[in-house]
Amino acid sequence: MTPLDPADLTARLIRCASVTPAEGGALSLLQGVLSDAGFDCTRVDRGGIANLYARWGTKGANKAFGFNGHTDVVPVGDAAAWTQDPFGAAVVDGWMYGRGATDMKSGVAAFAAAAVDFVRTTPPDGAVILAITGDEEGEAEHGTVALLDWMAAQGERMTHCLVGEPTCPDEMGEMMKIGRRGSLTCWFTATGVQGHSAYPHRAKNPMSALVQLMARLEAEPLDQGSAHFDASTLAITTIDCGNPVTNVIPARGTATVNIRFNDLHSGASVSDWLRGHAAAVAAKTGVAIAARISISGESFLTPPGALSALIARAVEAETGRVPVASTSGGTSDARFVKDHCPVVEFGLVGRTMHQVDERVEVAQIHQLKAIYGRILRDYFA
C-alpha cells in the first residue's frame, strides 16, 4: 500500500483557512483520511469549537500511544506583506509556505501519516490515538480540554502522549519539551483621589502607587530557578490611566503583569505573592489596589524517564542529534494532557511560526514522519 505523503497532507491542511476558532475543513479532511485507514473517528465539538478524536485499536487498551495537536492557526496579519498566498501551500526552493505550515499543520500531518502507515503495516497490540483540536491558538477552553473530558466520560485513555508542537529552535532534532512553565496574568486597578497636579498633597495619586508596586515586583525575583526550570519571569506589559490632560491627577489607573513561573510555585502561591505586594503598597500610599488574576496554566514536569528516552532514541536515529530535554518557551496543550498521562513534546523547527511568510522545509516534514513512525514501532515492540 502506498505510504501516506505527509507533505501532501500538510499542503491540503494549509489550504483549509482554519483561523481560530474556524474549523475551515481541516478536521473534516483528517477525519476522512483516518477513517479510510480504519480509525474510529468521533467529532467532539463543544462551545462552537471543532475537535476530532480518532482511535485505531481497542478501547481502554493497556498500551495506547497518543498524539495531540491542533489545526487552528493565528490570523494572517498583513496579507500584502506575504510573498506567497498564506493559504496556498506554495513550495519555493524546498520550503512550503502558509499560515500553520510550522505551527502546526505539518506536525499534525506527520503524526497522522506515521500513524496510518504504522497500523496498516504493523498492526499493534494496543491502540493508537489522535486527539486533534481546533482551539489551541484561541481561548483553549473547548479544545483539548473538551477532548480529555469526553475521553474520561467514555472510558477512553492514552497511556502516553506526544504533543507535536514545534520544539526545535534552529536545527531539526535539537530539543524536546518535558515540561512547561505556568502562566499567569494580573490586572491591577488602583483607585485614589483625583486632584490638581499643582496640589498633589490634596490628592491620592494611583499612578504613583502603581509605579511603586511595579518597582517592588521587579525588585524581588520569585526564585533563581529549579532543577529542570530557569528562573520564573515577570513582565510589566502596560501601565495606563487614559488621562488626556497634564494638570489633573487621575482618580484611577491600571497596570498589567504577566508571569511565567516554574515548578517551585503554583498559580495560587504566585497570586498570593502579588496580592501581598499590592496590599503593602496600598497601606503605604492610601490608594486602594484591586487585583484580578487569570491563571492560564500551571507549571508541570514529566520527569526524564522511559517516554523521553524513547523519543530521544528515535530522534537521534533519524537526525543524528540527541535532543535536549527542555522546559523553555510558552504554554501548550501539554498543560492539559499532563493530568491524563505522561506527556512530552517534540516537533519541527519553529523559527517562522506566527510570522509573515511562515514556512516549513519540506524535507523536514518527511523526517518528522519518520521519527514519529519509529517512536510507534519502538513503543509497541
> For the residues 264-293, what does the mean pLDDT come to?
98
Q: Which of 23, 72, 137, 318 is catalytic?
A: 72
Same domain, 243 and 341: no
Pairing of strands 179-180, 300-301: antiparallel
Instruction: List Cβ neighbours of 241 (8 Å cut-off, separation of 6 or more).
Output: 206, 207, 250, 252, 253, 254
* Cα–Cα distance measured from residue 184 to residue 302, given in angstroms and rounded to the nearest whole number: 21
Percent residues over pLDDT 90 in the chain? 98
Q: What is the pLDDT of residues 175-217, one digit of tens each?
A: 999 999 999 999 999 999 999 999 999 999 999 999 999 999 9
Domain with 22 in it: 6-180+300-380
Same domain, 160 and 199: no
Cα 64 from chain centroid? Answer: 23
* Residue found under cell 519553529: 350
Look at residues 77, 63, 191 and name the one whose alpha carbon lies nearest to residue 128. Answer: 63
> For the residues 303-312, what does the mean pLDDT come to?
97
Same domain, 158 and 204: no
State the pTM of this model. Answer: 0.91
Pairing of strands 91-92, 359-361: unpaired
Which pLDDT does position 330 carry in this prediction?
Answer: 84
> For the residues 218-233, what does the mean pLDDT come to?
95
Same domain, 191 and 158: no
Give the burial string for 194-229 (b: 16+ CB within 10 Å, else e): ebeeeeeeebbbbbbbbbbbbeebeeeebeeebebb
* Cα–Cα distance measured from residue 97 to residue 76, given in angstroms and rounded to the nearest whole number: 12
Same domain, 309 and 265: no
Which pLDDT does position 230 carry in this prediction?
Answer: 94
Mean pLDDT, rounded, of the chain: 97
328 located within any domain:
yes
**Is the pLDDT score of 300 beyond 80?**
yes
Strand ranges inside 64-168, DSSP E: 64-70, 91-92, 95-97, 127-133, 160-163
Q: What is the pLDDT of residues 86-141, one digit of tens each?
A: 999 999 999 999 999 999 999 999 999 999 999 999 999 999 999 999 999 998 99
* Residue found under cell 495537536: 69
**Is the pLDDT score of 1 beyond 80?**
no
156 classed as catalytic: no
1 located within any domain:
no
Peptide bond into 21 cis (omega under 30): yes
Identify the domain boundary among 246, 276, 297. 297
Pairing of strands 91-92, 252-261: unpaired
**Is the pLDDT score of 280 beyond 90?**
yes
Which pLDDT does position 2 carry in this prediction?
Answer: 92
**Is the pLDDT score of 288 beyond 80?**
yes
Q: What is the pLDDT of residues 325-347, one digit of tens each?
A: 999 988 899 999 999 999 999 99
Q: Which of 23, 103, 117, 136 is catalytic?
A: 136
Please tell me the total count of domains within the chain: 2
pLDDT band at 85 (very low <50, low <70, confident <90, very high): very high
157 located within any domain:
yes
316 classed as catalytic: no
> For the residues 20-41, what does the mean pLDDT come to?
97
DSSP secondary structure, 229-258, as one string = SPPPEEEEEEEE-----SSEE-SEEEEEEE
Q: What value, to the nearest 5°, has the Cα angle with vertex 70 and ends 66 and 76? A: 160
Which pLDDT does position 329 carry in this prediction?
Answer: 86
